[in-house]
Amino acid sequence: MHIERNELRCFHAVIDTGGFSRAAERLDLSQSAVSQTIANLEHRLGTTLLRRGSPPQPTEAGIRLLRFAEATLNEEREALADIGQIKSGALSTLSLALSPAANSRVGVALLKEFCERNPLTRLKVVVAPSREIVHGVGEGRWELGFGPFHHNMPGHFALHPCFFRDQTPDDRP
């Protein structure tokens, strides 16, 4: 069994607006459609979600469903806002991989500095072995990879030295 988003919207609207009529107005539905949606949901779940009255009050099961509805609808609003920002170019996600060596030596500092300079870019970070990073970047799983790599890499890779032998991060040029 699953719960449909329209059912969550109806249930949330009934509680949030304090009644079936106001929920119907908010959702641009008929009052009977809202009532039927709630009745069908209660039937499928096998429990009463609302104590009918003015205003309707959630039962114990209704309180649990209300928390789920709020979290789900908030997540949906955030996702839609993020998609809008991504479409406009204001928000993006950078997918990158760090080798264990890169992660332990410069990972936190590098990611912190990047986030400070690019607050609207989200990071999707994976720690993986260098060999896997080379293949993953080549296959498009990650856009960027950090780690100790061989000097003879495929031609479509650009190598930029970040690690120097016998030097600590503080000794780098």
Distances from the Cα of 142 to the Cα of 19, 27, 28, 32, 138, angstroms: 49, 41, 43, 50, 8
Quickly name the fold that domain 91-171 has.
D-Maltodextrin-Binding Protein; domain 2 (3.40.190)
The count of C-alpha atoms lying within 13 angstroms of the C-alpha of 22, restricted to the half-sphere facing its C-beta, is 11
Distance of alpha carbon 36 from its chain centroid, rounded? 32
Ranges of each domain in the chain: 5-86, 91-171
What is the reported pLDDT for 166?
54
Taking the complete model, does pTM exceed 0.85, yes or no? no
Pick the CATH number of 5-86 from 1.20.1260.10, 1.20.1730.10, 3.40.50.1370, 1.10.10.10: 1.10.10.10
What is the reported pLDDT for 161?
63
What is the reported pLDDT for 68?
96
What is the reported pLDDT for 89?
67
What is the reported pLDDT for 51?
95
Among 136, 7, 135, 147, which residue's Cα sits nearest to residue 66? 7
The Cβ of residue 170 has, within 10 Å, a number of other Cβ atoms equal to 5
Among 50, 30, 38, 36, which residue's Cα sits nearest to residue 3? 38
Residues 128 and 157: beta-carbon distance below 8 Å: no
pLDDT per residue as tens, the chain (173 positions):
899 999 999 999 999 999 999 999 999 999 999 999 999 999 999 999 999 989 999 999 999 999 999 999 999 998 898 788 777 766 678 888 888 888 887 888 888 888 888 887 888 888 998 888 888 888 888 888 877 766 666 666 666 666 555 555 555 44
